[in-house]
Amino acid sequence: MLEVYYSILDGKEKSRYIKNKELFNSLIDEVEKIYENCQLCEHLCKINRYKKAGKCRVIETSIASNFFHYGEERMLIPSYTIFFSGCNFKCVYCQNWDISQRHVGFYIEPEKMAEMIDDAYAKAKNVNWVGGEPTPNLLYILRVLNKCSKNIPQIWNSNMYCSEKTMNILKYFIDVYLTDFKYGNNECAEKLSRVKNYWEIVTRNHKIAYRQGEIIIRHLILPNHVECCSKPVMDWISENVPHALVNIMDQYYPTYKANEYEEINRRITVEEYQEIIEYAKKLNINAL
Ligand code: SF4
C-alpha cells in the first residue's frame, strides 16, 4: 500500500499504469458498450447515453475548467485538475453547485486534452479527474489517456457511487483514489444527496479502492451530523481501511439549497470539529 503516494511525495511522478494501447482499446470498447445501457454508477439508469441523459444529465462531456490546482492535499500539488460539468449526486449543499448542477463549460477534443496533459507533465505531479463527478465521463477519460504519451499518476476524485463495472475498469489506470465519504447512513444520503443505498455502495467501493490503489479519504463534517455521519464514517475507516489517509474537513458553509434544511444552515462549530478530531485520534485514524 501507499507505494504511489510515497512516490508522489518523493517526486517520482510515475503512474503504475504502463502505456498499453491494446488494453486501452479494449477498455474503450467495453465502456462504449456500457454507454448503450448506462450502468457506470449505481443509479443504473440503463439508458442509451449516446441518445439521452440519465440521472447525471450528462450526455456529451463538458469541461468546466482545467488548471494547475494548488488547493488539494499537500502531497498532491500542483495537481493538473480537470473539472467536469454535471454530477450523479444532487447534494443540496453542494459547494461546487455552479458546475455540478448546471451544464457549463465546453467539449474539448480528447487529442487536445491529451496534449494539454502532456504539456502539464513537466510541472504537475498528477492528473486529477473531478467535477461534478468523473464517473459519467469515463469514456472520455479513457479516450484522452489513450492519446497521452506521458506517464503521469492518475487521480480519481469521486463521490464513489460508481458501479462495480466501473471500479473494475479503474483498476487498470487509476493510481490514487481521492474520495468523498460523506454520510454514515442511507437516510442522510437520501435526504441531502438524493441517492439510495449510499452506505452499502460507498463502503464496498472504498474496500475495492483500498485493494487496487492508494487512497485518501475526504470527510466534510456537516453541522448536526457528527453522531449520525462523522462518527460512523470514522469507525468504518478504522475497521476496514486502517491505512487510508483521511482529510477531515471543516470548511463547510451553507450554500446552494442548504437554507431549506435548518440543520445544515450554518457553519460547523469549533466543538463539532474538535469532537471529530479527538474521535479520529482515539481510533488511530491517519488524519492529514
Ligand atoms: S452515469 Fe450513472 S446517473 Fe449517469 S446515466 Fe449512467 S448510470 Fe445514470
Phi first, then psi: give them for residue 263, nearest 5 degrees: -65, -25
CA of 48 to the centre of ligand 1 (A): 10
CA of 258 to the centre of ligand 1 (A): 25
Give the mean pLDDT of the chain: 92
Print the domain residue range for 186: 3-287
- Angle formed by the axes of helices 198-212 and 231-240, nearest 10°: 40
Least confident of 19-28, 66-75, 124-133, 234-243: 19-28
CA of 283 to the centre of ligand 1 (A): 36
pLDDT tens figures, 75-108: 899 999 999 999 999 999 999 898 888 888 999 9
Strands 126-130 and 176-180: unpaired
Decide: 54 in ligand 1 pocket, CB within 6 A: yes
Determine the length of the chain: 288
Which of 32, 38, 161 to probe ligand 1 with, by most ligand atoms within 8 A of CB? 38
In whole angstroms, give the CA distance from residue 16 to residue 137: 22
Q: Are 127 and 117 in contact (CB under 8 A)?
A: yes
Residue 7 pLDDT: 59
Contacts of 27 (CB under 8 A, 6+ apart): 142, 169, 172, 173
In whole angstroms, give the CA distance from residue 182 to residue 234: 11
In whole angstroms, give the CA distance from residue 90 to residue 141: 22
Query: What is the rounded average pLDDT of the residues 279-288?
Result: 96
Q: How confident is the model at residue 16 (pLDDT cuts 50, 70, 90)?
A: low
Domain count for the chain:
1
Which of 34, 35, 37, 40 to probe ligand 1 with, by most ligand atoms within 8 A of CB? 40
Which of 162, 192, 283 is closest to 231 using CA atoms? 283
CA of 38 to the centre of ligand 1 (A): 6
Decide: 43 in ligand 1 pocket, CB within 6 A: yes
Strands 286-287 and 176-180: unpaired
pLDDT tens figures, 182-207: 999 999 999 999 999 999 999 999 99
pTM of the shown model:
0.94
CA of 268 to the centre of ligand 1 (A): 32
Q: What is the CATH number of the domain that holds 14?
A: 3.20.20.70
**H or E stretch at 233:** helix 231-240
Q: Are 212 and 254 in contact (CB under 8 A)?
A: no
Decide: 136 in ligand 1 pocket, CB within 6 A: yes
The yes-or-no verdict on residue 45 having pLDDT over 50 is yes
Ligand 1 nearest atom to the CA of residue 136, by list position: 1
pLDDT tens figures, 214-252: 999 999 999 999 999 999 999 999 999 999 999 999 999
Decide: 39 in ligand 1 pocket, CB within 6 A: yes
CA nearest ligand 1 atom 6, residue: 38
CA of 54 to the centre of ligand 1 (A): 5
Q: How confident is the model at residue 2 (pLDDT cuts 50, 70, 90)?
A: very low
Write down the H helix ranges in the chain: 3-9, 21-35, 97-100, 110-120, 138-147, 164-170, 186-193, 198-212, 231-240, 270-282
Phi first, then psi: give them for residue 183, nearest 5 degrees: -120, 150
**Number of other CB atoms surrounding residue 36 within 10 Å:** 12
Residue 287 pLDDT: 95
CA of 208 to the centre of ligand 1 (A): 20
